[in-house]
Chains A and B, each alone.
Chain A
């Protein structure tokens, strides 16, 4: 009996807290509703459920950026209001959230968070001509399919690393015949397949060898010989550093001096430690270092001040997206879809992830990865 009472009491307390929250929200809404109309910044994503930790930092970012604009008197005299919609990263809930956004007359939407949910929601935004900008949906097809002119994102897509690598190998290094080796794992093979796709589509260089090696094998001499007999003038490796250092060591010991390019899994100091002097000259792509950006520090500081904690996943991408969206509305001096879209594609904006604008497909230019090379025992960014 006692148990039941305490549960009831708990439910009451929780109910009160929830009621309190709801009331607070209403007040907030009232405050932010000036007569001159307003700009509604919809924020869609996982705000509850298993993946809430991916979505909630975006809400915080949106609130901070909106508050900053409102403090300056809003955009074109209009106040910015943040309206969150929860989709729990579920496609079926994402369509509901998107419909709600449309009926709430959202000016722009920051979200969604997960690629699957984003994909489900996009047709609705496309129909209603509402710009949707995700800080975290990395599925390549979202932008590359060209189906969603309303979609933008401030994070690099899954294939961006391979695209950069191929571009670097073909254009900077002028390689013509590339061997692609991977470790058969999700990450390594995925990377290798994208690299192969870009090389074949680009048509400027050919793939002379595409093979997977067994991680942890005693040695890789056979595959190294195969690279040599395929007459490759460069190797792209998808995988992690233990296999990469073995392959590089064996290549160099066989007097093969062709460039070796790899991915983020190899851009690790252990690789240099293990391969030693033979690591010199190896290229690897890795995320751009944004921690020295003053806006990064500023966004971090604002979050700490307002919420008393370190920001969570995709916070900086979301902060950048909110800045980019509001900046575009500001620059376009209108909330008209075509004008804002044009501004997004033409006006550079300073954000925590760098100075960005968007390309025709909606990917942020200047975001994501950089090429590094081992020089003098450490990775140095190649400009």
Chain B
């Protein structure tokens, strides 16, 4: 039973990170039907920002919790700024272009950001400080679930709940839903579509930054390439859950995390990816629009 729980929490932690990144993919896709391949890089930039800020603050001798809070906030702001800028530079000029053009632009942006960070920082692996504090009374249980894993799961749950409330109950959330349904109609009824799109990128990037900081602190290392594989997996999670659907992305992330964890635990880690993508294939065969995705209505 312990073994099952360990795998369960391991999968939940990993799935939470996937979910945080997947939300950004799915929101952008929902609104402008673009697969933002540079999203994984935004996640990586978030982690790097936290690394730099935490380094400075540690040198100044601030308490651990303050460092965590400031580093996380800085990562969110910085990543959001990157997400915003990437959209303005790489996607906005192509909004009326054929769908393939922004896709290529996104891949280009991804490569650019990776190489930019590699040149500006380093191509080597760097140690990442343990920002998440260890809580004393949980220590005996850390073989099953560590404090940092609890932090990751809680932070993900809070972020997802916050996002859901925001979309359901605020004016801006309503505007987002309207834009997602039909951009032209939203424009006609007075929604500032450009602003909605910018906000979508900002929110998605912020969540990715949270994921980046948490996981880097959990595993203790960072590199300019970390966004690539995480991005691919998160994109898979978004498709699995139904691209365009926010609860779908969250669910997809968790399902993917659990699948990988249990496949490793009960079969073999050699087949971790095999099972993850087998699941994707199966779900797409039986539910082509993903677990929670809605079949697209034909607009006549």
- Which residues of A are at the interface with B, using a C-beta cutoff of 8 A? 184, 211-214, 216-219, 221-223, 225-226, 228-229, 241-242, 245-246, 249-250, 253-255, 270, 273-276, 278
Contacts and interface: CB of A to CB of B under 8 A. Distances in A.
B275 to A, nearest CB: 12
Nearest to A273: B127
B230 A212 contact: no
Contacts of A242: 125, 221, 223
B265 interface: yes
B127 A214 contact: no
Given A225-B3, A226-B269, A219 B143 contact: no
A217 B6 contact: no
B106 to A, nearest CB: 21
A218 B143 contact: no
A214 B18 CA distance: 16
B269 A213 contact: yes
Given A211-B268, A246-B221, A219 B13 contact: yes
29 contacts: A213-B269, A214-B229, A216-B225, A217-B229, A218-B215, A218-B229, A218-B233, A219-B13, A219-B219, A221-B6, A221-B149, A222-B11, A222-B269, A223-B264, A225-B6, A226-B264, A242-B223, A245-B125, A246-B219, A246-B221, A249-B219, A250-B219, A255-B143, A270-B124, A273-B126, A274-B127, A275-B220, A275-B221, A278-B220
Nearest to A226: B265
Contacts, number: 101
B228 interface: yes
A255 B140 CA distance: 10
Contacts of A241: 125
Contacts of A225: 3, 6-7, 10, 265
B221 A245 contact: yes
Contacts of A250: 219
Contacts of B219: 218-219, 246, 249-250
Q: How large is the interface on B (under 10, 10 to 19, 20 to 34, 35 or more residues)?
A: 35 or more
A36 B96 CA distance: 92
A193 B70 CA distance: 47
A274 B225 contact: no
B233 A253 contact: no
A276 B126 CA distance: 10
Given A211-B268, A214-B273, A216-B229, A222 B220 contact: no
Contacts of B7: 222, 225
Interface in B249-297: 260-262, 264-265, 268-270, 272-273
B39 interface: no
B168 interface: no
Contacts of B233: 218
The 6 closest A-B pairs by CB, nearest first: A222-B264, A221-B10, A222-B261, A225-B6, A216-B229, A212-B270
B3 A229 contact: yes
Contacts of B124: 270
B272 A214 contact: yes
Contacts of A253: 142, 146
A218 B272 contact: no
Nearest to A255: B143
Given A219-B218, A225-B265, A229-B3, A211 B229 contact: no
Contacts of B14: 218-219, 221
B265 A222 contact: yes
Interface in B116-139: 124-127
Nearest to A256: B143
A253 B217 CA distance: 12
A108 B11 CA distance: 62
B39 to A, nearest CB: 15
Contacts of B270: 184, 211-212
Query: Which of A216, A218, A226, A229 counts the most chain B CB atoms within 10 A?
Result: A218
A320 B127 CA distance: 41
B228 A216 contact: yes
Given A211-B270, A245-B125, A254-B142, 14 more contacts: A211-B268, A212-B269, A214-B269, A214-B272, A218-B219, A218-B229, A222-B10, A225-B7, A228-B6, A242-B223, A245-B221, A246-B221, A253-B146, A274-B220
